[in-house]
Every structure is written in structure tokens, then in C-alpha cells.
């Protein structure tokens, strides 16, 4: 791991641990889990939000004020909102995506669950998500939370990562394997 990446991970881990411990003490882990989903959705869908998080053009005060208003509008738990404001005051919002990932893992571990990072060629409906979660539960032996992202370049199929195990059933990978096989033959 590169030094800047490990520094970012360390920062995210400290904030995630603080949020997790406060939320666990208050019995607010379900709300914090929902906050993670809300924030991840905002990061994925809003370029303005990503700019606010990453742009050095905004002052600490501007970031802090904007984050406070957004946290209120998003209905984030007080622990999450206060932590985000603190992060803005210290110019640490750039680790938000890593913070969300860490928090999800901590909450899943606390609940005896495991998180599967799933990349699909198209969005999955609720029935497909439930069927995939059930299939993964049988394979892993624990309840599975699905962290879904969409990558249309997969053409079809899924890429599933649970812990250190990765399953790639995408058409893109099958075509690449076929291409390599044809190169070896010809």
C-alpha cells in the first residue's frame, strides 16, 4: 500500500472507530448504517457533493457550513453529522468513501454479517438482490450485506468480492479468457 493511501486509511479508520463506538454505546448502529448508505448514494450521484468533499477551493468554514446543512437535509444522525463537521474543520473529508467502507465493515462484524462488494453490468432489483444475498449466505455461512455498484463495461454477469475471495462471472472476463485462449492456439 502506498504511503498516501495508508495515511488516508488510518485517518478513515480513526473516525470510523469513533463513530462506531459512540453509536454502539447509544444503540444507534442501525441509523449509522443508514447514514452510510445515504452518504454513499450522495457520493455516487452528486458531482457537486464530490466537489465539496475533494476541492481545495472551498475554505474550511465553507465546507463545514455546507456539510452541516447537508447533514440536516439528509437526516443524518447527530453523531454522523457532528463527525462530518469536525472532519470538514480539519480538512479530512477526502477520506469519506474509506470511512463509509470501514463503518460498514465494523457494523457488519458487530451484527455477525459479512459485506459483499458486488459489481453488476446493470442495477439489480430487490428480488435479484435478495436471491444473491441468499446464495452468498449459503456459501459463506453468515448473513451477507450487498454493497452494489454498476459497471456497464462488464457487458453482463457479476463480479462478487467477499473478504479475500473474488468470483468473476462477467461476460467481459469470459471474452478476455477466450481471447487469450485463441492467442495461444493461433
List, for residues 18-49, the tens digit of each pLDDT value: 999 999 999 999 999 999 999 999 998 999 99
Please give the pLDDT value at position 155.
87
Please give the pLDDT value at position 98.
93
Please give the pLDDT value at position 50.
94
Torsion, Cα 38 56 20 98, to 10 degrees, reads: 80
Please give the pLDDT value at position 81.
97
Enumerate residue ranges in the chain where pLDDT < 70: 1-5, 186
Q: For the chain, which domains are there?
A: 2-109 (1.10.520.20), 113-184 (3.40.30)
pTM confidence score: 0.73
169 contacts: CB under 8 Å, gap ≥ 6: 157, 158, 159, 160
Q: What angle do CA 71, 73, 74 make, to 5 degrees?
A: 65
104 contacts: CB under 8 Å, gap ≥ 6: 33, 36, 115, 145, 147
Amino acid at each position: 500500500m502506498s504511503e498516501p493511501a495508508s495515511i488516508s486509511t488510518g485517518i478513515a479508520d480513526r473516525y470510523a472507530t469513533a463513530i462506531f463506538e459512540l453509536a454502539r454505546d447509544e444503540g444507534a448502529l442501525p441509523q449509522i448504517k443508514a447514514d452510510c448508505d445515504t452518504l454513499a448514494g450522495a457520493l455516487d450521484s452528486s458531482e457537486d457533493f464530490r466537489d465539496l468533499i475533494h476541492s481545495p477551493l472551498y475554505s474550511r468554514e465553507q465546507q463545514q457550513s455546507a456539510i452541516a446543512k447537508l447533514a440536516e437535509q439528509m437526516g443524518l444522525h447527530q453523531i454522523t453529522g457532528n463527525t462530518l463537521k469536525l472532519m470538514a474543520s480539519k480538512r479530512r473529508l477526502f477520506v469519506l468513501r474509506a470511512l463509509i467502507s470501514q463503518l460498514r465493515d465494523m457494523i457488519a462484524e458487530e451484527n455477525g454479517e459479512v459485506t459483499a462488494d458486488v459489481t453488476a453490468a446493470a442495477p439489480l432489483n430487490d428480488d435479484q438482490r435478495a436471491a444473491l444475498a441468499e446464495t452468498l449466505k449459503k456459501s459463506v455461512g453468515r448473513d451477507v450485506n450487498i454493497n452494489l455498484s454498476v459497471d456497464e463495461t462488464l457487458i453482463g454477469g457479476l463480479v462478487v468480492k467477499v473478504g479475500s475471495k473474488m468470483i468473476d462471472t462477467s461476460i467481459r472476463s469470459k471474452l478476455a479468457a477466450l481471447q487469450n485462449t485463441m492467442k495461444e492456439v493461433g
